[in-house]
Amino acid sequence: MSATGHAPWAGGPPADEPGERGTTTVATATTAPASHVFGAFAYLTARSMANRVRLQLRRARNPRYAIAILLGAAYFYFVLFRQTRPANAPALLFGTGADIILSLGIVSLVVRWWLFGGDQAALAFSPAEVQFLFPAPVTRAGLVHFKLLRSQLVVLLNTIVWMALLRRGNASLPILLRALSFWVLFSTLTLHRLGASLARSSASEHGVAGARRSALPMTIVGAVALTVIVTLVRALPALKAALPEGHFIAVLKQALLQPLPAAVLLPFRAVLRPGLAATVSEWSHTFWPAALIAVAHYLWVVRTNTAFEEAAVEASARRAARVAALRQGRGWAAAAAAGAPGGKPVARSWFPLRPTGEPAVAILWKNVLAVTRTLRWATLAVLVASVGILVVVVSLQASGPRAGTLLGTIAGVWGALTVFTGPLWIRNDLRQDLPKLALLRSYPLRGARVVAAQVASSTIVLTAIQYVLMVVAYLALMEADDAPLTAGGRTFALVLLVLALPVLNAASLTVQNGLALLFPGWVRIGVGSRAGGVEAMGQNLLTTVFGVVSIGVLLVVPGATAAGTYLALRAHIGDSATFVALLVCLAGMLGEIALMIRWLGGVFERTDPVSTGEM
C-alpha cells in the first residue's frame, strides 16, 4: 500500500519514471518504441473490453437488463449451437466450388466501400483516442496498427461465429485450419475496408493529386462491378429458365466461370477458397494465395498512411458529433453538420411555424424538419436509380413481366413491408428526443401533448413514405392487365389504405414510443445507451415481440367490433359493409391511441431523467 493508503495501480510506473514523487521534469519528445506502443494499445484494448463486460454484468443486476441478456444469450445459443437444419447444409459450401457464388458477396462489399464510401467507421477513433493517441509520440503507422488491433476483436468474433455455424460441415479439414482461413478472410476484408477508406479520404483531401492516386483502384473496382453486372444481365434468361427446375446455382456458376468474369473474380475467390476447402490437401493449395493477398493488403494499408491522420481525425470528429448528437437526442443531423468543412447549406424550413398557437406543434415542426435535413438524398437517388435499372433490364426480357407490373409490385411490396418495419426505422420521435428529457420536461407543455406531438412526427413521415409508394404502385399498375386485383379493386384498396395506414402507423409508433418511455433500457434511444452483443440482441427481441403483441392486443376490441358491424350490415348494404367496418375499426383504434397517449403523458411527467440515463 502507498503512504496515502491507496493501492498503487497495477503495472504502475517504474520508480525512476520522470515526475515521480513530486519532481517535475520535462521529458524529451521522442517516438515511443514499437513494443511500448503495442503494449499500450494492447492494454487499452484489453482493459476496455474487460471493463465493458464488467459494466454489462453489473447492469445485469437490474432485471430489465438481465432479461435482455438472458434472451440474447438464448438466441445466440439456439442459432449457433442448437441448429435444427440438416447437418449437411454447410457441406454444400465445402469443396463444391461455392466460392464463385460467394465471391459475388465480396465483390458487392468492395464495390460499396470504393464507389459509395459511407464507411468512415473504418477510420474513426473515439474522442478519447484522438485526445490521447494523436498527440502522443506515436507514428502514423502505429496508429494504423492500433486500428488493426482493435479490428481484430471483430475479426475474431466473426471467425468464432462462422466456425460455430459451419461446424457441422462433415468436412475432414481440422477446425483450426478452417478457423485460420476465416481469420485470414475477415482480416483481409477489414484491411481492404480500411485501405479503401484511406484512399477515398486521400482523394477528397488532396484534390486532383488525391483523385489521381485513387483513380486506378476505383477504375479497377468499377470494371469488376461492370463485368459482373453485364455477366448477370446476359445470364438472366437462362437463370430465369433454370429457377423452376432447380438449376439456378449451376447456371449462375456456369455464367460466372466464363473466361472474363472468372478472371475478374479470381482474387475474390482466392480469399474464400481455403475457408471452404474440404480436405487438408485442398486447403494447403489454396491457403497461401489467400495469405499472400492478406499480407499484400497489410503492406498496402500500412504504407497508405499519408492521409491517415487527417482522415482519421475528420472521421473521428464526425463520429464524435454523431455520438454526442444521439446521446443528447439531437438526431442524425450532427454528422451532416460536422461532416462538411465550412458547413453544408442548411435545407430551408418548408413547414411554416407561427409564433402562437398550439405549442406542441413546435415539436412536430422540429421533428419533421429534422427528417428533411437528415434524408440522404444521394442514397435515395441510388436506390431509385437501382430500381429503375432493374425494372428496365427485366422488362426488356421477352418473357419478363411488364415494366408497370414490376414497378407496381416492387412499390406495393415495399409499402407493405414498411407497415411492419417502418416504426422501427422511422425514429424522429421520443426515441430520438428521450436523452434530452430534461429539456423537454422544462417546456410548459403537458406530457400527453409532448407524447402526441412526438408520435405524430414519425407517423406523418412514415405515412407520407407509404402514400408515395402506394400511389406509385397504383399508377404503375393502372394499365397492367397482369396485375393482381381488378382496377376497381385496386382503387378500393388504395382508399382503404389511405384511411388505415395513418391509424395503424400511429398505433405502432405509440407502442414504440411507449416502450422507450417505459423501458428506456430496452430501446435504442441513443448511441450512449446502446449496449452491444448479447444484451442488444435480447433488447431487440424483446421490443420486437412486445411491439407485435401490443398491436395484436390493440386490434382485438376494434377488430371484433368491426367484424360485428360487418356481419350486421352486410345483408343491408352489401360490400359497403366492409368500408363501414373498417371505419369502425379505425375509430376504435384511434380511441385506444388517445387513451395510450394520455397514459404515456402521465408517465412522461413522472419519468426521472436519471432513468433514461441522461444525468
Partner 1 sequence: MIDVSDLTKLYGDFTAVDGLSFHVAPGEVLGLVGPNGAGKTTTLRSVAGIIVPTRGRIRVAGFDLAEHPIDAKRALAFIPDEPQLFEHLTVQEHLKFVGRLYGVADAAERAGPLLEEVELWEKRGALPGELSRGMRQKLAIACGLLHRPAALLLDEPLTGLDPVGIRRMKATIAARARGGAAVILSSHLLHLVEELCTRLLVIQRGRAVAYGAIGDIVAERPHLAGRALEDVFLDLTGSAVEPR
Task: Note the residues at the interface with partner 1 (CB under 8 A).
Answer: 321, 325, 328, 330-331, 333-334, 336-338, 343, 346, 349, 353-357, 359, 361-363, 365-366, 369-370, 373-374, 436-439, 441-446, 605-606, 608-610, 615
Smallest gap from residue 330 Cβ to partner 1 (A)? 4
Smallest gap from residue 615 Cβ to partner 1 (A)? 8
Phi-psi group of 92: left, alpha or beta (phi > 0 → left; psi -120 to 50 → alpha; rest → beta): alpha
Nearer to partner 1 (CB atom), residue 337 or residue 403: 337
- Burial level of 65, CB count in 10 A (0-12/13-18/19+)? buried
Q: Evaluate whether 344 touches 337 at the Cβ level (below 8 Å).
A: yes
Nearer to partner 1 (CB atom), residue 59 or residue 441: 441
Nearer to partner 1 (CB atom), residue 363 or residue 461: 363
Nearer to partner 1 (CB atom), residue 331 or residue 423: 331
Query: φ, ψ for residue 544 (rounded to 5)?
Result: -65, -50
Q: Evaluate whether 451 touches 601 at the Cβ level (below 8 Å).
A: yes
Nearer to partner 1 (CB atom), residue 363 or residue 509: 363
Q: Evaluate whether 293 touches 267 at the Cβ level (below 8 Å).
A: yes
Smallest gap from residue 569 Cβ to partner 1 (A)? 44
DSSP string, 438-470: HHHHHSS--HHHHHHHHHHHHHHHHHHHHHHHH
Q: H or E stretch including 362?
A: helix 361-374
Cα(516)–Cα(539) distance, integer angstroms: 11
Nearer to partner 1 (CB atom), residue 265 or residue 462: 462
- Name the DSSP class of 4: T
- Name the DSSP class of 485: S
Amino acid at position 167, single letter: R
Q: Evaluate whether 27 touches 18 at the Cβ level (below 8 Å).
A: yes
Q: Evaluate whether 182 touches 159 at the Cβ level (below 8 Å).
A: yes
Angle among Cα 104, 107, 111 to the nearest 5 degrees reads 140
DSSP string, 20-49: GGG---PPP--PPPHHHHHHHHHHHHHHHH
Amino acid at position 196, single letter: A
Cα(204)–Cα(120) distance, integer angstroms: 13
What residues have CB less than 8 Å from 136, skipping those under 6 apart?
Answer: 32
Query: Can you read off the three cell numbers belonging to residue 342?
Result: 465550412
Nearer to partner 1 (CB atom), residue 345 or residue 532: 345
Cα(69)–Cα(66) distance, integer angstroms: 5
CB atoms within 10 A of CB 371: 20
Nearer to partner 1 (CB atom), residue 361 or residue 424: 361
Nearer to partner 1 (CB atom), residue 194 or residue 336: 336
Smallest gap from residue 528 Cβ to partner 1 (A)? 13
Nearer to partner 1 (CB atom), residue 14 or residue 444: 444
Nearer to partner 1 (CB atom), residue 309 or residue 605: 605
Cα(186)–Cα(159) distance, integer angstroms: 7
Q: Evaluate whether 520 touches 611 at the Cβ level (below 8 Å).
A: yes
Nearer to partner 1 (CB atom), residue 21 or residue 85: 21
